[in-house]
Chain A
Amino acid sequence: MPTSDIVLHEEDFRAIRDLIQKLRQEANARVICLVDRNGQQIACVGDSDALDMVALASLAAGNVAATDSLARLIGEKDFSTLYHEGEKDNLHLSMIGGRVILVVIFDERSSLGLVRLRVKKYGSELAAALEKMQQKTVKAKSGKASSSPFTEITDEDIDSLFGN
């Protein structure tokens, strides 16, 4: 089945952002980002101004997708976490609830052990928040379509995007 659309509402965004903010503090991480498996950034906290987060999201998703395929090639279901160690900064990627990637960027102020521990602690809470978001999306699709502003998009709206 193709993956369904994601609809992120303000209150879900705040709940998710608060969770990853707590995780960032407890893990002493530089940046934490939640990315959809298809490469869309959902939420991000920390010192991310110097980073191209759109590119990071896309590459993280590509990385996880390629590694999952490698896992299946050797008979594993998936590799639930990936770790890339750099000279200063390190990258920890883990799957949350099967469809979202939690990206943690940390430096010498933290450690892999601490990051792993805290990711585990917050993983289930994040999965629950994401599940809630998903259920809202499904509910909205099955009957309350008129609540979406996009049902009202006109041809003129689309034309205006292209300046003609």
Chain B
Amino acid sequence: MTFINYAAREINCKIVYYGPGLGGKTTNLKWIFGKSNPTTRGKLISLATETDRTLFFDFLPLDLGTIRGFKTRFHLYTVPGQVFYDASRKLILKGVDGVVFVADSQAARMEANLESLKNLQSNLRDQGYELAKIPYVLQINKRDTATAVPVEEMKRQMGVKGEPVFEAVAQNGTGVFDTLKAIARMVLIELRKTA
């Protein structure tokens, strides 16, 4: 749900990072926060448990620059990945403009990836969206792990609609900004179609 504010000359879009628990969603946002110019980003808000697991969401507002005289601001959210926080995940998908799925490359996490992807599709449907119709990017994270599943196999199992796929190691920033740029671009192209 893009918010076009003619009074403030701003476009606001919402991007949600989705995926299984401990997959690296919050790490993506932390990296973006750490590497962005303090004048273009807001505070990183993390509603986390005492053990630093996401409880409700992380939130990072980010200004990407000006387009046609409008400041483009992206609101980046993560969902809590742990299975039992499903009610919270549904709420965060409200008004989403684009989704990044952060998959964990470790072989032992493939089942969790697939379960989370299924959960994403079902929660989007509950909010009236279809994954096939909204801007969507797949990030395969933790490519540096010893048991990382081959990229082609990840794509085969996780691919939904020929979406852009980015290999990443969010801990050291590899692929993080490429993923963000890709989803931001897709959201803006969608805006052009629907504006």
Within 8 A of B (CB), among A1-25: 1-10, 12-14
Q: Tell me, in angstroms, the Cα distance from A5 to B92 when the chains sit together.
A: 16
Cβ < 8 Å to B, chain A residues 120-163? 141, 145, 148-153, 157-158, 160-162
Closest approach, in angstroms, between the C-beta of B169 and any C-beta of chain A?
A: 21
Q: Mark A39-66, 1 if CB is under 8 A from B, else 0.
A: 1101100000000101100110010011
Give the contacting residue for B75; candidates A13, A39, A152, A153; CB below 8 A.
A39
The answer to whether B88 and A158 touch across the interface, beta carbons within 8 angstroms, is no
Q: How many residues of B contact A (CB 8 A)?
A: 45
Given the known inter-chain contacts A7-B6, A36-B3, please indicate yes or no for A149 contacting B69, CB distance below 8 A.
yes
Contacts of A38 in B (CB 8 A): 1, 3, 14, 94-95
Q: Is the interface of B mostly helix, strand, loop or mixed?
A: mixed
A8 and B6 within 8 A (CB): yes
Q: Point out the residue from A65, A145, A160 that lies within 8 Å of B195, measured CB to CB.
A: A145
Stretch at the interface among B26-34, B101-109, B141-149, B181-189: B181-189
Tell me the complex Cα distance, A158–B188, Å.
7
Interface size band for A:
35 or more
User: With contacts defined as CB atoms under 8 Å apart, how many contacts are there between chain A and chain B in the complex?
Assistant: 126
A69 within 8 A of B: yes
From B60-68, B110-118, B156-164, give the one contacting chain A.
Answer: B60-68
Q: In the complex, A128 Cα to B25 Cα: how many Å?
A: 40
- A37 at interface (Cβ–Cβ under 8 A)? yes
Q: Which residues of A contact B3 (CB under 8 A)?
A: 5-6, 8, 36, 38, 40
Q: Are B4 and A151 neighbours in the complex by a CB distance under 8 Å? A: no
| B1 touching A6, Cβ below 8 Å | yes
Q: Which A-chain residue is minimally distant from B88 (CB atoms)? A: A66
Alpha-carbon separation in the docked complex, A52 to B72 (Å):
18
The answer to whether B72 and A40 have CB atoms under 8 Å apart is no
A8 contact from B4, B91, B92, B127, Cβ within 8 A: B4
Contacts known (A2-B128, A161-B64); A8 close to B7, Cβ less than 8 A: yes
Using an 8 Å CB-CB cutoff, how does the interface string of B43-87 with A read, 1 for contact, 0 for none?
A: 101010000000011010100110111101001000000000001
* Cβ-defined contact, A2 with B129, below 8 A: yes
**Are B95 and A158 interface neighbours, CB within 8 A?**
no
Determine whether the beta carbon of A8 is less than 8 Å from that of B5.
Answer: yes
Shortest distance from the beta carbon of A33 to any chain B beta carbon, whole Å: 14
**Do B68 and A13 touch (CB < 8 A)?**
no
Contact A150 B87 (CB under 8 A): no
Cβ of B140 under 8 Å from chain A: no
> Could you give, for residues 32-46 of chain B, a 1 whenever the CB lies within 8 Å of some chain A CB and a 0 otherwise?
000000000011010
Contact sample, A vs B, 27 pairs, CB 8 Å cutoff: A1-B128, A2-B1, A2-B127, A2-B129, A5-B2, A5-B4, A5-B194, A6-B4, A7-B4, A36-B1, A36-B3, A38-B14, A39-B14, A52-B43, A54-B42, A55-B61, A58-B75, A62-B47, A62-B91, A145-B195, A148-B195, A149-B68, A149-B195, A150-B68, A152-B192, A153-B68, A153-B189
Please name the 8 residue pairs, one residue from A and one from B, whose CB atoms are nearest each other, closest first.
Answer: A38-B95, A13-B7, A150-B195, A148-B195, A65-B91, A40-B3, A2-B128, A1-B128
